[in-house]
Structures are given as structure tokens and as C-alpha cells.
């Protein structure tokens, strides 16, 4: 029995020892397999890396083609082609390379070609056209260019492929920004249009490849308007003296008061106005603001206001963005401007009549208030009315006249207005229950013609959906003000007599009908003298453009106007916030 137990014990010990030995051997086996796998992966990676090295220069172009094709096939819908590169104009880039058998555009057999150098040089100087180099990934392009300068990296086809795609993407962005600008509603549609892809993007790049000088090519895309060129002439000197420090931009009005105060303190500190407390109380903040206002010669209120924020945001970099926005506004005009036209620049409070790039007439104007801004319009003068009546727009009726009528129906008589049905029948305002109206009234409110009429002596009509026009005013004393955004939306013209004379003489000179139909400035003078109401139909319609250009060349000097409607601010925050 003891022998049997002893034998069983030996067997158990043997089994246990055998199991341990087996486990030990298994561990060694798995460890061997693990390290073998690691060595194999390293070997494969080295092999892959070696495969990326194109040993023969003659084979490089084929390898770059394969790399470009692979990257474009793998690109996602947002334009990302790998971990480090995204393309803004992927649909156009794909179209171009697909039609070009994925051949590299900017290099040939491990060497940059001449057009690559021309484009990179243009990217370095593109600010002169109101563009921003980083929009076109200039830093990344130069990083890859530096990598390819190394003899070992020059053999890597994928780096050449990345560079090629980035340069092509940059070129397509540049030509659209110079041709169409960045502010148009359909700017995103261009890159998806097959017609644009073929006839504009691909055709322009092919011209460049065929040897057309880049400066001539890109200049041809831009407006040929004299004032556009005049503004661009100021950019080099502006850039030479430009303060390129990155200041904190303040969005106003704000939603988060705590975050806004943090940024305000940061921005004031950047201009040398600091405070020791990280979270100052109201009194401390007001004191700091007053110090800034005193140095900047602003009214010392100590309060946060639109004027204060505008001043803080008025840095050189922000001014350059306003120049860029203004250049893009020219690109919203017709490709060919008329021979003669009326130009109203709202922020300048100015009207000009142009005749073949020659200034024929200039006048001060009064434009819409910020709450009732004058709209931007392309139209043409269709008729002129001497001693016009004024039919008051519904917007003014709702905001001003209706609330007054609810208080006192005698308001109309006191203002010299009449109440009429739509077919012209007079209505007694005391007979109407004004309390039941809120969004408008079923009547016309009209001011009769005369010297006291709000439209003055002459009204210039042109078709538009906003019911605005050019006209004289019975408040001519307001033209002496420097800030003249004072109207309900129409444009009041100080030199209305000269404007009427110019339009009438131009119409009479070009009209080829019977003499009896020709307009006469003498006739108009007699009508005005007799205070007679007349309507003159203009046969040769005079084009009129009402626009918003807050930066322009004035007698050889660049001038910045107040952003009276905040339109520059809106466009800057929407389109140029990353620049």
C-alpha cells in the first residue's frame, strides 16, 4: 500500500514537473514567435520604405502618377487625402488629373519645373492682389519643397505627389479668388460645375503650362476698372509699413460677457493698458477703458460701446482685410462697365457720374440710417419728376405713421400728408379705426408736391424692388454734416440740378427721334420756376450703381471710411476670420 502511494506521488510530481516544463517551453516558443513577427514587420516596413525610393530618375514620373492616383482615389468628401494634407478644390483637382492621366504638373523627374517656381514666388507676393498666402497652404508647400531638396527624400514619389496636388489646388483657388472673389453667393458652385472645371480652371492652368506669364495671366482675370487698379497701387506701400502683430479680435455685440471681458482685457493689454487683477470689478474696468479712450482721443465714458470696439479692432491687419473685401466687391460688378454711369458710394456719402473713366460730376449725398440702410442696387434712371409727390412706403407707415395715428388722427394734417384709397379717392383719417391695424393700412399716405415735400424739387426714378430713388430734399442743411446716414433708405443728392441737367442733355444728345420729343433743360428750369409738376421719361436710360466701398483711392491717397452698416465687419467674420 505504501509502495502504491509512493508511486502515485512520484507520478503526480512527474506530471507537475512535466506541465511546468511544457509551459516554460511554450512561453519560449511564443516569445520566439513574437520577436520573429516584430522583426518581420520591421523588415517589411524597411522593404516598403525601400519600395518608396525610386532608384531610377526615368521611373519617377510614373511613380508620381501612381501616387497621385492613389491619393485622389482615397480622398474623402472633405478633401482630406492623407493625415497631413487637405485640398479645398478637390472636385476641380480630380477633374484635372483624371483628364491628364494623373501626370505631375509642377515637377519632372525629380526636378521642379519653371511654372512651380513662378507660382511659389506669386504665393510669396499674393498680398499685393488682396490675397492671403496661408489660404493656399504656403507654409506646407514650402515644407515639402525643403524636404525634396534633400537627396534622400527626392527619391520618394509620394512627397512629389503631395506637392503637386497642393500646388494645383492653390492655383485653382487663386484664379477663382482673383476672377470672382470670395464674397459671391455662388462661389462654392464654381468648383462643382463641369463647365467651369473645363473652360475656366483647366483652361487657365493649361495656358500657364503652355508658357503664359503668370503675372499677365492673373492680371487678365481681375477687373479692368480704373478705381480697382488705383486701390491696388496703394497695397505695396501699405504692406511695407504694416504692423503684422496679431491682436485679439473682439466680436461685438457679444453673448458671453465673461469671455468677452477676458478678451477685452487681453486686447487692452496688447496695446499697453493693463491691470493687475485678473477679474477686475466694474469700477476698475471703467477706469482702464477711460485711460485707453483718453490716449486715443475718444470720449472718456469708460463704457463698452461699438465705437470702442471698432477702435480696438482697427489694426493694420484688419485694415488690410477691408482692402481685400473692397477689391472683391469690384468683382461683383459687371465685367464691362457702361460708358456712362452714376456711382453712389454709401460709406463715402458720395455720388459720381463717370464718362469713360472721366469724372463728369460729383455730389455729396445723404444715405439711409443703419436701421434703414440704403440697399445695394444695379439699375438705370427711367424717368425724372419735377415737383414730385411722395407716397410713403409701408415700412415707414408701420414704424412711424401708424403709431402716431393711433394717438391722434390729426397727425397727417400736421405733417402735410393726405390719406387716399388706392384709386386716389381722399379719406378722412378721423373716419378710420386705426387701432385694428398693426402690419400696415389699406390706404396710401401721400405728401403733395411743393418746397416742403420731403423729396424736394426733383426725383430720379429707377426700377428696384426696394422702392428707393435719388432725390432732392427739403432738409438741405444736413449736407454740411460729415456723418450723413440719415434717411429712410433713399439717397438725397445735393447737386440734383447738375445731375438732372447731365441726364437730360445726354438723353437729348443721343435721342434720334423727332425734335418735339427731345427734353430741354430750359423747359425744366421754367417748370421749376412755375412750380409745375412734370414727368420726363428718359429714353437713353442712365445706369446707376449704389454700392458699399469703404476703402478707395482719393486723389492718390488711400482712404478708409466708417463701416456705417457694419457690412465689412459681417463679411470679415464670415469669410476672412481665419486670415
Which band of pLDDT confidence, cut at 50, 70 and 90, is reported for residue 13? very low
Query: Are residues 24 and 112 both part of a single domain?
Result: no
> Are 106 and 113 within 8 A, CB to CB?
yes
Q: Say which residue the cell 428707393 belongs to.
A: 468
pLDDT at 489: 95
CB 477 within 8 A of CB 452: no
CB-based contacts of 321: which residues, under 8 Å, 6+ apart? 568, 572, 576, 579
Residues 228, 229, 234, 238: is their CA dihedral positive or negative?
A: positive
pLDDT at 485: 98
- 218 & 97 share domain: yes
- Per-residue confidence (pLDDT) for residue 159, from 0 to 100: 95
Question: Has residue 238 been placed in a domain?
Answer: no
In sequence order, the 6+-apart residues with CB closer than 8 A to the CB of 204 are 175, 217, 221
Same domain flag for 78 and 159: yes
Q: Which residues, 6 or more positions from 63, have their beta carbon under 8 angstroms from its beta carbon? A: 54, 157
Residue 50, pLDDT above cutoff 90: no
pTM (2 decimals)?
A: 0.85
Residue 535 lies in a domain: yes
Q: How many domains does the chain have?
A: 3
Residue 4's pLDDT band, with cuts at 50, 70 and 90, is very low
Question: What is the DSSP code (8-state) at residue 56?
Answer: -
Q: Is residue 141 part of a domain?
A: yes
Structural domain ending residue among the three candidates 222, 254, 288: 222
pLDDT over 70 at 52, yes or no: no
Q: Are residues 38 and 63 in the same domain?
A: no
Residue 279: is its pLDDT beyond 60?
yes
Task: Please name which of 71, 92, 81 lies closest in space to residue 205, comparing C-alpha atoms.
Answer: 92
Average pLDDT over residues 332-360: 95
Across the chain, mean pLDDT equals 89
Over 60: is that where the pLDDT of 38 sits?
no
Please, which residues bridge with residue 546 across strands?
344, 377
Cell of 71: 491619393
Q: Are residues 158 and 76 in the same domain?
A: yes
Residues 36, 145 within the same domain: no
Residue 187 structural domain: 57-222
Mean pLDDT of 174-189: 87
Residues 78, 34 share a domain: no
Do 483 and 525 fall into the same domain? yes
Average pLDDT over residues 526-546: 91
Give the pLDDT band (50/70/90) at residue 189. confident
Average pLDDT over residues 192-201: 95
Q: pLDDT: is 31 or 555 the higher one? A: 555
Distance (Å, whole) CA 446 – CA 240 = 56
Burial of 124 (0-12, 13-18, 19+ CB in 10 A): exposed
Q: How many percent of the chain have pLDDT more than 90?
A: 75
| CA 85 to chain centroid | 25
| Residue 5, pLDDT score | 40
Give residue 20's pLDDT band: very low, low, confident or very high (50, 70, 90): very low
pLDDT at 234: 97
CATH number, domain containing residue 392: 2.40.440.10
> What is the C-alpha separation between 114 and 242, in angstroms, rounded?
31
Inform me whether the pLDDT recorded for 522 exceeds 50.
yes
- Give the model's pLDDT for residue 251: 94
Nearest of 180, 158, 163 to residue 54 by alpha carbon: 158
- Of 166, 188, 222, the last residue of a domain is 222
Distance CA 567, CA 512 (A): 43
Would you call the peptide bond into 253 cis, given omega within 30 degrees of 0 as the criterion? yes
Q: Is the pLDDT of residue 531 over 60?
A: yes
Q: Looking at residue 397, what is its pLDDT?
A: 92
Interatomic CA distance for residues 485 and 86, integer angstroms: 45
pLDDT of residue 12 exceeding 70: no
Residues 93 and 157 in one domain: yes
Confidence tier at 523 by pLDDT (50, 70, 90): confident
Name the 3-class secondary structure at 382: strand
Query: Rounded CA gap, 329 and 563, in Å?
Result: 14
**Residue range 433-460, pLDDT digits in tens:** 999 998 889 999 999 888 888 999 999 9
| DSSP reduced 3-state for 379 | strand
pLDDT-derived band at 514 (thresholds 50, 70, 90) equals very low
Residue 36 pLDDT greater than 90, yes or no = no
Give the confidence band of 49 by pLDDT, cuts at 50, 70, 90: very low
Q: Identify the pLDDT of residue 288.
A: 96
Mean pLDDT of 173-180: 97
Other Cβ atoms closer than 10 A to 193:
15
Residue 335 has what pLDDT? 85
pLDDT at residue 18 in the model? 46
3-state secondary structure of 132: coil
**397 and 341: one domain?**
yes
Amino acid at each position: 500500500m505504501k509502495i502504491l502511494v509512493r508511486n502515485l506521488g512520484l507520478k503526480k510530481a512527474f506530471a507537475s514537473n512535466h506541465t511546468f516544463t511544457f509551459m516554460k517551453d511554450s512561453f519560449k516558443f511564443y516569445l520566439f514567435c513574437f520577436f520573429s513577427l516584430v522583426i518581420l514587420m520591421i523588415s517589411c516596413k524597411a522593404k516598403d520604405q525601400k519600395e518608396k525610393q525610386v532608384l531610377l530618375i526615368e521611373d519617377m514620373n510614373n511613380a508620381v502618377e501612381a501616387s497621385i492616383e492613389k491619393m485622389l482615389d482615397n480622398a474623402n468628401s472633405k478633401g482630406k487625402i492623407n493625415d497631413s494634407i487637405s485640398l479645398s478644390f478637390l472636385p476641380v483637382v480630380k477633374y484635372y488629373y483624371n483628364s491628364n492621366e494623373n501626370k505631375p504638373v509642377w515637377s519632372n523627374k525629380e526636378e521642379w519645373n519653371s511654372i512651380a517656381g513662378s507660382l511659389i514666388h506669386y504665393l510669396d507676393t499674393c498680398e499685393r492682389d488682396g490675397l492671403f498666402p496661408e489660404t493656399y497652404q504656403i507654409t506646407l508647400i514650402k515644407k515639402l519643397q525643403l524636404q525634396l531638396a534633400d537627396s534622400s527624400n527626392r527619391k520618394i514619389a509620394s512627397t512629389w505627389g503631395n506637392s503637386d496636388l497642393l500646388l494645383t489646388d492653390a492655383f485653382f483657388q487663386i484664379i477663382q479668388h482673383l476672377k470672382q472673389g470670395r464674397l459671391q453667393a455662388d462661389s462654392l458652385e464654381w468648383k462643382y460645375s463641369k463647365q467651369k472645371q473645363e473652360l475656366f480652371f483647366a483652361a487657365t492652368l493649361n495656358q500657364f503650362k503652355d508658357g503664359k506669364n503668370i503675372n499677365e495671366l492673373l492680371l487678365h482675370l481681375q477687373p479692368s476698372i480704373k478705381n480697382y487698379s488705383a486701390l491696388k497701387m496703394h497695397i505695396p506701400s501699405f504692406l511695407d509699413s504694416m504692423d503684422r502683430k496679431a491682436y485679439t479680435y473682439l466680436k461685438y455685440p457679444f453673448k458671453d460677457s465673461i469671455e468677452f471681458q477676458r478678451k477685452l482685457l487681453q486686447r487692452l493689454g496688447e496695446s499697453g493698458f493693463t491691470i493687475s487683477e485678473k477679474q477686475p470689478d466694474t469700477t476698475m474696468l471703467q477706469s482702464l477703458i477711460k485711460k485707453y479712450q483718453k490716449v486715443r482721443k475718444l470720449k472718456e465714458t469708460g463704457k463698452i460701446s461699438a465705437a470702442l470696439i471698432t477702435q480696438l479692432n482697427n489694426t493694420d491687419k484688419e485694415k488690410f482685410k477691408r482692402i481685400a473685401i473692397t477689391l472683391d466687391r469690384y468683382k461683383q460688378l459687371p465685367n464691362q462697365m457702361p460708358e456712362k454711369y452714376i456711382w453712389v458710394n454709401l460709406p463715402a456719402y458720395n455720388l459720381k457720374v463717370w464718362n469713360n473713366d472721366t469724372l463728369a460730376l460729383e455730389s455729396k449725398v445723404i444715405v439711409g440710417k443703419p436701421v434703414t440702410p440704403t440697399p445695394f442696387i444695379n439699375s438705370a434712371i427711367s424717368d425724372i419728376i419735377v415737383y414730385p409727390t411722395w407716397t410713403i412706403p409701408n415700412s415707414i407707415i408701420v414704424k412711424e405713421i401708424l403709431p402716431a395715428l393711433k394717438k391722434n388722427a390729426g397727425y397727417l394734417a400736421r405733417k402735410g400728408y393726405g390719406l387716399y384709397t388706392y384709386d386716389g379717392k381722399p379719406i378722412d383719417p378721423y373716419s378710420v379705426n386705426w387701432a385694428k391695424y398693426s402690419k400696415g393700412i389699406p390706404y396710401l399716405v401721400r405728401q403733395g408736391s411743393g418746397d416742403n415735400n420731403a423729396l424736394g424739387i426733383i426725383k430720379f426714378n429707377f426700377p428696384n424692388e426696394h422702392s428707393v430713388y435719388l432725390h432732392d430734399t427739403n432738409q438741405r442743411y444736413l449736407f454740411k454734416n460729415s456723418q450723413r446716414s440719415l434717411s429712410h433708405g433713399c439717397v438725397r443728392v445735393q447737386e440734383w440740378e447738375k445731375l438732372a441737367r447731365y441726364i437730360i442733355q445726354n438723353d437729348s444728345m443721343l435721342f434720334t427721334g423727332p425734335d418735339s420729343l427731345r427734353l430741354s433743360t430750359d423747359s425744366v428750369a421754367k417748370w421749376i420756376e412755375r412750380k409745375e409738376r412734370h414727368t420726363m421719361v428718359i429714353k437713353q436710360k442712365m445706369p446707376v450703381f449704389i454700392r458699399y466701398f469703404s476703402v478707395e483711392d482719393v486723389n492718390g491717397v488711400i482712404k478708409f471710411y466708417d463701416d456705417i452698416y457694419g457690412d465689412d465687419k459681417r463679411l470679415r467674420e464670415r469669410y476672412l476670420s481665419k486670415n
